[in-house]
Amino acid sequence: MQQVILYSRKQCHLCEDARIILQELQQDYSFEIKEKDIDSNDEWTQNFGLMIPVVEIDGEIIQYGQIDSFTVSECLRKKVDAI
């Protein structure tokens, strides 16, 4: 199963919004959400501290900051099997 990584941190309302968008997209596409708290890893904090939330698929950053369903859905359509 395809894995979508969501880099986030606690008490981040944009991260919560991104999580909800990804969960809604799971109704249309077959993928697993793996959430990574950037505060648990210094490298992630350095790389993504000002960008979160960050959505990554196949090692490629798809979108960061304000996540929208359309952009992520278009990428998933190309990379993941539809249900």
**CATH (one of 3.90.1570.10, 2.60.40.10, 3.40.30.10, 3.20.20.10) for 2-79:** 3.40.30.10
Going by C-alpha positions, the residue among 77, 27, 83 that lies closest to residue 57 is 77
Asked if residues 41 and 13 have their Cβ atoms less than 8 Å apart, the reply is no
pTM of the shown model? 0.92
Going by C-alpha positions, the residue among 49, 31, 32 that lies closest to residue 40 is 49
3-state secondary structure of 7: strand
**pLDDT tens over the chain, length 83 residues:** 889 999 999 999 999 999 999 999 999 999 999 999 999 999 999 999 999 999 999 899 999 999 999 999 999 998 876 65
